[in-house]
Structure 1
């Protein structure tokens, strides 16, 4: 099974997201061995999930871009994992942008991952460098599936993906830290380089940023996986 996850970040209104879904549905040909996941802004998820069901998109799922490290309760502005149950199947935690702009740390990501698993949601934990890998071992103790995404920061600046050698080295470390985890690579992924990145040993899928905003480009990434 391969996995392609698109992170829209803080882009697209609900109306724009609905148009994206319609366009994607018209050009995408689902494969039984490929799961496609989209992470729209939180405000749009329920509307887009309903539309995806109406369009009968197969093997197509949704992810939250973030969630609360706390359960339901008096946490103004936070969205507890339990509130997302039944709407999303995945949740991104520990993205380097959350760390850079919101001063979150590795422990915050681990707490969010635990909340996600308790709610039956698969956490997609982002890892930017080797130093973070050693903190991942506690994820192996969670009673649920875990997905890891190697998301180095340099490709976001240069527009050039990491070398296959570097990706393989990190993937090997991540698999040792969390046996059985699904491993994605994210960093300057496009429809043109997706096939080569998917061919890197140990990579189970791709974590797509900018390229996921265009339905045709994202469909090309999915086609490379299918």
Structure 2
């Protein structure tokens, strides 16, 4: 049995003070929900305060990005060893990073390896554009992203990480893939390549999230799909109703 995991990606929202106030507001109710792993991913500057506010809870903390090097002349970047005091997770290869900051499959692979080497659990994002979806290219494209991201990893490493399937056309648009559609793509184009590369046993251990306009009223539909193990939540994770979303995910 794979434990479901819901992660809130706050993106570039909330100041450090606002972030701490928010987690203080939701932590008790969120902590009462069992049977699902809960993670919040605030901006870099808010990580220490959020980490402190969530001590003595079972709510995890994740970063939204990181560099693969431990140090160096990389202005504006954050190294994995800078995150480990405050984080257990790190989002890697989000479509916004790929689109706006030219992140590549190779870079995602380097970051995944670095995260694992430092004891961080990567949440590796994959997903296709609307044009690719409409052209019937989803399986080839998403499978390619998965294979590239996991290249050179061991089966044990792969079993411990998380993959988030986020169709780009459903992120922040109000559109979303149907639960059946998302479940089918995840089974075929995400879990399938993992089985090809590392064996069916490993593929069945990997937790795979859906992301893209996930809300409290539709999360249960996605969780009912056998290959969907949670969600990477954007805008809906910025409000107190995130608690209701997590509760509905837990069933």
TM-score computed with the length of structure 2 as normaliser = 0.83
Q: Residue 204 of structure 1 corresponds to which residue in structure 2?
A: 229
Q: Residue 249 of structure 2 corresponds to which residue in structure 1?
A: 225
Instruction: Give secondary structure in 1 for the equivalent of 2:171.
Output: helix
Q: How far, CA to CA, are the matches of 2:113 and 2:19 in structure 1?
A: 29
Asked if structure 2 preserves the Cα contact closer than 8 Å seen for 1:5 and 1:206, the reply is yes
Shift of residue 32, structure 1, vs aligned partner: 3.8
Q: Residue 155 of structure 1 corresponds to which residue in structure 2?
A: 170
Asked if structure 1 preserves the Cα contact closer than 8 Å seen for 2:126 and 2:164, the reply is yes
Q: Structure 2 matches for 1:1-226, cutoff 5 A?
A: 1-53=3-55, 56-58=56-58, 60-129=59-128, 130=138, 131-137=141-147, 139=150, 141-142=153-154, 143-144=156-157, 145-156=160-171, 158-172=173-187, 173-178=189-194, 179=203, 180-215=205-240, 217-226=241-250
Shift of residue 29, structure 1, vs aligned partner: 4.6
Q: Which runs of 5+ in 1 are unaligned?
A: none
Count of residues paired in the alignment: 222
Structure 1 residues 29 and 49 mapped into 2: Cα distance closer, same or farther (>3 Å)? closer
**Superposition misfits of 4+ residues, deviation over 6 angstroms:** none
Q: How far, CA to CA, are the matches of 1:190 and 1:39 in structure 2?
A: 17
- 1:164-215 residue CA offsets vs partner (Å, 9 max, x unmatched): 2321222112112222321000011111111111112210001100000002
Q: How far, CA to CA, are the matches of 1:7 and 1:209 in structure 2?
A: 5
Instruction: Give secondary structure in 2 for the equivalent of 1:28.
Output: helix
Q: Which runs of 5+ in 2 are unaligned?
A: 129-137, 195-202
Shift of residue 157, structure 1, vs aligned partner: 5.3
TM-score computed with the length of structure 1 as normaliser = 0.91
CA RMSD of aligned residues (A): 1.7
